[in-house]
Structure 1
């Protein structure tokens, strides 16, 4: 399935801004390609930019990379639970609290990118394990209906969203 074929009934309206970033991509291919593109992009950012904040209270690039890692873990957990037909509504999370409780700025760039690559490889393995039926299963996360496959596409689009922010506000 291509991202353009994902029905809007399979994700929250607030995720539409992310999903719209995707061009006509397939889930499994783009999970792999987008990781490589992101790592290559980040490795070309000047070193003095990783601890930069474009405004008071905004996250650094290192903190955003940690945010992407944390969010992907949460999204994958949601996808796994919904794929297993768990009907328990899954709560939202407060992203600012998560970032405030990391040591991302004390980490070196390579450790962050290595962790991101490992998390993505785990996400890919998880999504490869899903049957077509499991990918279309619906659950509730953050008080909104969502399908397993929409979670996968949102993972990719969320990363692209932050890469776009890097380009617009940090570089």
Structure 2
């Protein structure tokens, strides 16, 4: 399925969709997954609790945020792909980060969780048919297609990879 069009997602998500490289689910996976995992696995343990400014997340908290967001976006994708028409709520990323307790985990454990989640997400996305990808629903008070959720996810990960490069490493 082609890239999502305006109207398939909220205005807020436009930057994420733009950051996702590819014109199909298969291309998104090829263009992002292995590279992202390689990059994250290269983050040294010495940076695990680093934060670039007062009140900003540590590297571990940022990675936990990426994990939480991937789970939420894929729950939305599953819900809508299965034609469940329930409207799904938004989430407050700062509240999630505050209670996620990433600080008690090792960076290696967080990386492993992220890697396994990425593999699971890729397999789930590859299992979806063109009809599944066209399905839509309401999340965070905005209409969104399953296809757009995949692009938002990959773009969100790319966004945080850029932040890690520019501000943390």
Q: TM-score, normalised by structure 2?
A: 0.92
Residue 28 in structure 1 maps to residue 17 in structure 2: no
d(CA) in 2 for partners of 1:60 and 1:15? 24
Equivalent of 2:48, from 50, 59, 65?
50
Displacement after TM superposition at 1:2 (Å): 4.2
Q: Distance in 1 between matches of 2:71 and 2:30?
A: 16
Higher RCO structure (Cα 8 Å, ≥6 apart): 2
More deviation, 154-163/107-116 = 107-116
| Aligned match of 2:139 | 141
Q: CA deviation at 1:55?
A: 1.2
Q: Which runs of 5+ in 2 are unaligned?
A: none
Q: Give 1:81 deviation, angstroms.
A: 0.7
Who is 2:125 aligned against? 127
Residues 94-133 of structure 1: pairs in structure 2 closer than 5 A: 94-133=92-131
Instruction: State the TM-score, normalizing by the size of structure 1.
Output: 0.91
Distance 1:136 1:39, change over 3 A: same
Q: Distance in 2 between matches of 1:45 and 1:13?
A: 32
Gaps of 5+ in 1: none
Number of matched pairs: 169
With 120-129 and 142-151 compared, the bigger mean Cα shift is at 120-129
Indicate the SS of the match to 1:20.
Answer: helix
1:72 aligns with 2:70: yes
Runs of 4+ aligned structure 1 residues displaced above 3 Å come to none
